[in-house]
Each structure stands twice: as C-alpha cells, then as structure tokens.
Structure 1
C-alpha cells in the first residue's frame, strides 16, 4: 500500500510539475561550499554537538558531521548550520 501511495505522489508531482520534496515529504538540503547548510522538512533535533548534528526525518534520520558546527537559526521544520561540514548522511 505504501509503495502505491508513493507512486501516486510521484506521478502527481510529475504531472503538476511540483517539487518532489514537497509532495513526498523529503528533506531539502541547500549547501554553500563546506561552510553552510540549510535543511528544510526535518522533524526535530535528535542530537547536537560541535562535531555532529542528527535530525529526525519523516522516514529516518539525517546526520551531519564536521567541526565547529553552530546552529545559527532553527524553526519548526528548518535549520541553518554553519561550520566546517565534512559529511552528510541520510539513514532510513
């Protein structure tokens, strides 16, 4: 059933020319070099330290590792992080 629902959402996104992150509830990442990262559509902060950020997603987690990480801005579904970003990993 989930697979059918996902396919219908993807078809609707393609047909209506909508961004898939909106229709399928996916995270959107915008990265500027290795110094800034803007993350949309997260479900909350699970862990934060100067070398690691873990965010809950609708399906899984997002982990950002680096050094001197600082959360500059945080809203309900958006986070803006600065620092030296070394790795970004999405886990289901």
Structure 2
C-alpha cells in the first residue's frame, strides 16, 4: 500500500508539473559555495558540533561535514548553517544512539 501511494505521488508530480519537494516531502537544499547551506523541510536536528550537522528527514538523514559550523537560523523546518562545508551526504539508515 505504501509503495502504491509513493507511485501515485510520483505520477501526480510529473503530470501536474509540481515541484517534487512539495509533493514528496523532500528536503530543499541551497548551497552558496562552501560557506552557507540552507535546508528546508527537515524534521529536526539529531546532532550538531563544530564539524558535523545531522538532520532527520522524512526518509533517512542528511549529514553535513566541515569545520567552524555555526547555526545562523533555526526554525521548525528550516535551517541556515555557516562554516566550511566539505561534504553533504544522504543517509538511508535510522538514527544511531
């Protein structure tokens, strides 16, 4: 049933020419060089340090690695991170404790 719902969302997105991030609950990520990253549609911060940010997504996690991280703005579903960004990775695994 879940697979059928996902296929229906994919079909509707293509047929109605809607943005995929809106219809499918995907994150929207905007990077400006290696200095800023703006993430919309996340589900919360799992881990934050000077060198790592891990966000919960509807499907998996987003891991950002770098140095001198500072969270400039944080809202329930939006986040602006500053620092030197070296890697942005999608993880399909559940959060580690």
Q: TM-score range by the shorter chain?
A: over 0.9
**TM-score scaled to structure 2, two decimals?**
0.92
Q: Which residue of 2 aligns with 1:63?
A: 63
Q: CA RMSD in A?
A: 0.7
Give, in whole Å, the separation in 1 of the partners of 2:40 and 2:11. Answer: 22
Number of aligned pairs? 92
Q: CA deviation at 1:16?
A: 1.2
Q: Deviations over 1:25-70 (max 9, x none)?
A: 0111100101100001100001101100000001111110000011
Unpaired runs of 5+ in structure 1? Answer: none
Give, in whole Å, the separation in 1 of the partners of 2:17 and 2:84. Answer: 35
Give, in whole Å, the separation in 1 of the partners of 2:10 and 2:70. Answer: 35
**TM-score scaled to structure 1, two decimals?**
0.96
Unpaired runs of 5+ in structure 2? Answer: 93-97
Q: Which residue of 2 aligns with 1:36?
A: 36
Q: CA deviation at 1:4?
A: 1.2
Q: Which residue of 2 aligns with 1:16?
A: 16
Superposition map of 1:44-63 within 5 A: 44-63=44-63
